[in-house]
Amino acid sequence: MKKSEKVFKNIQKSQLIALLTPKSKNECVKAYELLRSSGVVLEIALRSEHAVGGIKSIIEKYPGALVLAGTVMTQEQAEKAIHAGAAGVVSADYIPEVVDACVHKDVMCVPGGLSDAGKQLVQKATGYGCSLEELRDKYPYQWVYKLFPAFSGKLSNMDLPLSWKGPFRNLTVIYTGGITLDTLREAIRKAPEGIFCASALTKNMEKPALMKEEIHQWRETLRPHLLKPKKNTESQRTA
């Protein structure tokens, strides 16, 4: 199984991604070590000069590690992140060159924004030389988009993905931007099967006990949904 397939399954299972803007390469390794037992996937933001080196350091120490590269804004950044060992690439916007670089390497690509969900799916399908239906069924780790920002002050954009999921059935959506423990409850109510990404999950890096407690609170907030049986998406497709 490809690394992108594995990390996609992991984030679907845990529904949580912890975002880190590292101050050093060692901080990336530390964050991964603190998170791995919880099942929460680590996303390392490339707005830090230590990000690519941090991803490399994690993979060197833990060859099977599954980490995401975030805030990837250029083709060059995408290629460096993939070469470093990232299992997936996440962007703050829809950047066609980044999508092409990821599809070329068959690496999960998660563009983001408040629109363009369909455009990036069509570009991916074109890159693979397949139909949209084949992209969804054969490359589910590419049938994904990021709502960003999910919350902006008092404004919620949580209803936007409802319009995407009409024409793009079973689209996996990652919700980020303004996701805190306080807004998580509303987010789950709007998107019970969503994936939620937040820097709050790594804010207590220097105090591991507090960081683990924060993760525990998030998981407890998600628990009522996690205990429910998942929908049979295959039967939905054939119904």
| Residue 230 confidence (pLDDT) | 52
**pLDDT tens digits along 34-65:** 999 999 999 999 999 999 999 999 999 999 99
List domains and CATH numbers for the chain: 3-238 (3.20.20.70)
**pLDDT tens digits along 85-127:** 999 999 999 999 999 999 999 999 999 999 999 999 999 999 9
| Residue 226 confidence (pLDDT) | 57
Measure the CA–CA gap between 194 and 191, rounded to whole angstroms: 5
Measure the CA–CA gap between 69 and 3, rounded to whole angstroms: 13
| Residue 238 confidence (pLDDT) | 36
Q: Which amino acid is at 213?
A: E
Cβ atoms of 171 and 161 within 8 Å: the answer is yes
**pLDDT tens digits along 184-209:** 999 999 999 999 999 999 999 999 99
User: Mean pLDDT throughout 224-239?
Assistant: 48
Taking phi over 0 as left and psi of -120 to 50 as alpha, with beta for the rest, 119 belongs to: alpha
Residue 19 phi/psi, 5° resolution?
-95, 130
The gap from C-alpha 210 to its chain's centroid, in whole angstroms, comes to 23
Kindly give the interhelix angle for 25-36 and 208-226, rounded to the nearest 10 degrees: 40
pTM, full prediction? 0.92
Local confidence band at 223 (pLDDT 50, 70, 90 cut-offs): confident
